[in-house]
Amino acid sequence: MGHGIIAWIIIGVVAGWLTGKIMKGSGYGFLVDMIIGLLGAMVGGWLFTHMGAGGVGEHGLIMSIVIATVGAVILTFLFRLVTGSKSS
């Protein structure tokens, strides 16, 4: 099952927002949170595919958001690790 552009925007926004809440930050703003969520979908999709669980486009909307959020949390953690930033 593939997702359309509207679904990808929703996945990106929700995953970015959830990542801001999980990572104890205030987020980076709507657009950057959405970009982080979309990049997180790519990271999470790659990770889950290599673990044998399937990528973002192979599941329904809720599981896709979960996968994207996991990827976005990993991406944010690595970004903060490299920049030394603990809050946004």
For residue 87, the model assigns a pLDDT of 56
For residue 26, the model assigns a pLDDT of 60
Residue 88 counted as domain residue: no
User: What's the domain count of the chain?
Assistant: 1
pLDDT, tens digit, for every residue of 2-54? 677 888 888 888 888 888 888 876 666 778 777 888 888 888 888 888 888 77
Residue 21 counted as domain residue: yes
pLDDT, tens digit, for every residue of 54-77? 766 677 888 888 888 999 899 888
Q: Could you give the CA distance from residue 13 to residue 69 in angstroms, rounded to a whole number? A: 10
Residue 87 counted as domain residue: no
Token digits of residue 71: 């990827």
For residue 56, the model assigns a pLDDT of 66
Inter-residue contact 80 to 86 (CB < 8 Å): yes
Q: What does the radius of gyration of the chain's CA atoms come to, in whole angstroms?
A: 12
Residue 39 counted as domain residue: yes
Residue 86 counted as domain residue: no
Which range of residues forms the domain containing residue 49? 5-81
Q: Could you give the CA distance from residue 57 to residue 39 in angstroms, rounded to a whole number? A: 14
